[in-house]
Structure 1
Amino acid sequence: MIVAQATDIHAGIDNDNFLRFEKAVAWLGELRPDYVVISGDLVDDGWIEGHNRLGKMLKRLPFRTFVIPGNSDDKNAMRSALPGFIGSNVAGPLHFTEYCDDVLLLGLDATVDGAAYGDVTDHLPWLRRKPEAFPIGTAMLFIHHHIFPSGIRLIDEVMCRGIDELAELLELHGHRREREKPGGHAARFSFAFLSRPSATAART
């Protein structure tokens, strides 16, 4: 099974990032993944029309796609423009869960209203129930904010908080942290937590 991840499109009125993303989508069409996860920062400056444009684009994709928000996204705009690609259309975090062929995909919305950093602390009860429901196979956890220090001070000031508690929770279920996989926000790390049997992903 192939799971592809795209992140940090940062589309705006004054840039060509949608064109760049369309080229990436064309490449994904050749790869033919089973799932695509877009892990936040879809647009810049709360560009509402950008969410609408992305929703129209995603409807044309031939593979199952999920989206979680980043700190630059408007959740209400996402609920309106991306109802088939987010975990919930009601108020609250936009988590998602998908289970297929012994692989559990989890998208965790760690955004904090009005803040650039992320925080998983309040969402650990939600996450705690998932490995108990699907105890066998591989689990992949997607979060917008990076969870490993990048060494870049300004970026690390907005990294995800509550990571020690998250690691303790996952280790209780036999999961281990995987580093150096495609990710979001800092774009140098990812947030996949893989259980036994382990899996690897090519880095792009």
Structure 2
Amino acid sequence: MIIAQVSDIHAAENNDNLSRFEHALAWIDLITPDALVLSGDLIDDNWCDGYAAIAAQLNKRSYPSFILPGNSDDRTSMKSILKCPYWNNTCEDGALHFVADIGELRLIGIDTTIAGNSAGAVGEHLPWLAENLIKDGPADSILFMHHPVILSGIPPLDQIMCCDMAKLAEFLTDHPRKPIAISAGHVHRSMSGQLAGIPAYICGSICPENPLWFGTAIVPPVNDAPSFMIHRYADSQLVSHPVLL
């Protein structure tokens, strides 16, 4: 089973990120994934026409797409334009979560956005997450979100990550049915770590990546390539591959 993850398109009128997204999808098509997850920040500068352009690309594909908002997105416009059938409609706060069983794997997406804030949070959604981790279906799951739960070491980005990751760690430590991986976006660089003993990934971005800068006087150069992830699940094992084009 193959799950593709694309994050941080940041499509706008004044950039070529939609073309970069199409280039990534053309590569992804070659491996015929079972599903695609878009983990937030689809547009920039409130350019809602970008949602329609992204939807047009997704509608050409035979595999299902699961979409999360990021801090640069507008949830109301996303709902009206993208109309993702997998969004959970029972959340009173309007959060755009999703859950879907794809073969022997459950995909769970949790909306970590906070209105008017570049950082994210997950604490208020933990009851929803608990319910969807244990409901009947596949025992193994991947938890997707926009804001990461591991420190990148990049100072300005660590200030706007998932601000209550400790609550999530405590929750998962005691949960009888933990996800086998957590995968986010937001940082515009691929990296990996752990939360509560669970592998935690940050997917790279479609837009030009951020430098691996630890606050030193010199900012290292970056590669301009679009980046995304391929998660392969087979024989109850998950291997996650960063891909740079």
Q: Same fold (TM over 0.5)?
A: yes
Residue equivalent to 1:5 = 5
Provide the rounded CA distance (Å) in 2 between the counterparts of 1:177 and 1:34: 18
Provide the rounded CA distance (Å) in 1 between the counterparts of 2:64 and 2:190: 25
After TM superposition, the structure 1 = structure 2 runs for residues 6-45 of structure 1, keeping only pairs within 5 Å, are: 6-45=6-45
Residue equivalent to 1:87 = 87
Q: 1:33 to 1:136 in 2, by over 3 A?
A: closer
Give ranges in structure 2 of 5+ residues lacking alignment.
192-200, 204-232
More strand by share: 2
Q: 1:88 to 1:128 in 2, by over 3 A?
A: closer
Q: Deviations over 1:143-197 (max 9, x none)?
A: 0011110101100000002212212222322536758x7x4111334269x9x94
* Alignment of 1:54 onto 2:54: yes
Same amino acid, percent of matched pairs = 36
Provide the rounded CA distance (Å) in 2 between the counterparts of 1:89 and 1:43: 23
With 67-76 and 90-99 compared, the bigger mean Cα shift is at 90-99
User: Is the radius of gyration larger for structure 1 or structure 2?
Assistant: 2
After TM superposition, the structure 1 = structure 2 runs for residues 30-179 of structure 1, keeping only pairs within 5 Å, are: 30-84=30-84, 87-88=87-88, 92-134=94-136, 136-171=138-173, 172-175=175-178, 178=181
In structure 1, give the amino acid aligned to 2:22.
E
Show structure 1 runs of 4+ deviating over 4 A: 88-91, 176-179
Q: What is the TM-score of this pair, normalised by structure 1?
A: 0.89
Q: Deviations over 1:73-119 (max 9, x none)?
A: 01111011110355046860000000122211001000000000000
Q: RMSD in angstroms over aligned alpha carbons? A: 2.4
Q: Deviations over 1:116-148 (max 9, x none)?
A: 000001100100101221475311000001111
Provide the rounded CA distance (Å) in 1 between the counterparts of 2:85 and 2:61: 11
Contact persistence 1:102–1:136 (CA under 8 A): yes
In structure 2, give the amino acid aligned to 1:72.
S
Q: Deviations over 1:37-69 (max 9, x none)?
A: 000000101111111211122111121111100
Higher RCO (Cα < 8 Å, 6 or more apart): 2
Give ranges in structure 1 of 5+ residues lacking alignment.
none
SS at match of 2:13: coil
Match among 185, 201, 204 for residue 240 of structure 2? 201
Q: 1:157 to 1:124 in 2, by over 3 A?
A: same
SS at match of 1:200: strand
Q: What is the TM-score of this pair, normalised by structure 2?
A: 0.75
More helix by share: 1
Contact persistence 1:83–1:89 (CA under 8 A): no
Residue equivalent to 2:186 = 185
